[in-house]
Structure 1
């Protein structure tokens, strides 16, 4: 079994806020990330596919095809957007990076059957990873 990981970049803002918490609880839990106007990140997205290389091409997937799918399904929707306000995916869920990684996986999975893992770099120190465990939230 072989894996291929491609790296992508997008910029987006979000506000960490849970409707299930009081304003005080949100401020205490999320601090400056609860700013009503949001805050931004330069995200790096790792998309990993896993499979056996095709006997003719020697590839798991054509990288150009993978790039087109990721651009159309994820980057066109999220790049330079406020995730809470500008996207349907986060209208009713708190866009923590844990959740963003899971949502991106679920967006790409129908388009990329051999999708294995999503890695999302929020900052140089914060990395989040989502792999399908068979349970869907």
Structure 2
């Protein structure tokens, strides 16, 4: 039987949604307040889940202390209290939308977590807006 275990974390970051290939008018039309040239911030909530078989020796799917350390070292330390546009290298050429932030987080975590485990990552940008990458669900797509 497979079991899913999860860890929650939070971080704060500022960003500006802007496409340099568009006019100022189009950026304002598409991104609205999120296009503020002085940036704006969010209190992000991150949920990281791994699905796998329980290890007979440890009783764990994954050691949650190890998962916490991965999240802290690779995600929180990297993003927390940063201006994503100015301080995060990936966003020098990539618009820091919720979806793109999630993809960067997923890619960083996937490198650190055993391929034997299925990874799901949910990122809340606001109480009502969130995005998810779920390998289990994505594997069904043909």
1:98-129 deviation per Cα after TM superposition (whole angstroms, max 9, x unaligned):
11111100011010122511100111111111
Distance 2:19 2:64 in 1: 38
Q: CA RMSD in A?
A: 1.2
Query: Is contact 1:119–1:129 with CA below 8 Å preserved after alignment?
Result: yes
Runs of 4+ in 1 over 3 A off after TM superposition: none
Structure 2 gaps, min length 5: none
Distance 1:80 1:125 in 2: 21
Match of 2:35 in 1: 34
* SS of aligned partner of 2:28: helix
Distance 1:130 1:90 in 2: 19
Match of 1:118 in 2: 121
Q: How does 1:5-16 map to 2 (within 5 A)?
A: 5-16=6-17
Deviation at 1:59, TM superposition (A): 0.7
Structure 2 length as normaliser, TM-score? Answer: 0.90
Moved more, 125-134 or 76-85: 125-134
Distance 2:91 2:72 in 1: 18
1:101 is the counterpart of 2:102: yes
Query: Is contact 1:10–1:75 with CA below 8 Å preserved after alignment?
Result: yes
1:129 is the counterpart of 2:113: no
Match of 2:87 in 1: 86
Distance 2:43 2:101 in 1: 13
Distance 1:123 1:115 in 2: 26
Q: Whose helix proportion is higher, 1 or 2?
A: 2
Pairs aligned (count): 134
Structure 1 length as normaliser, TM-score? Answer: 0.93
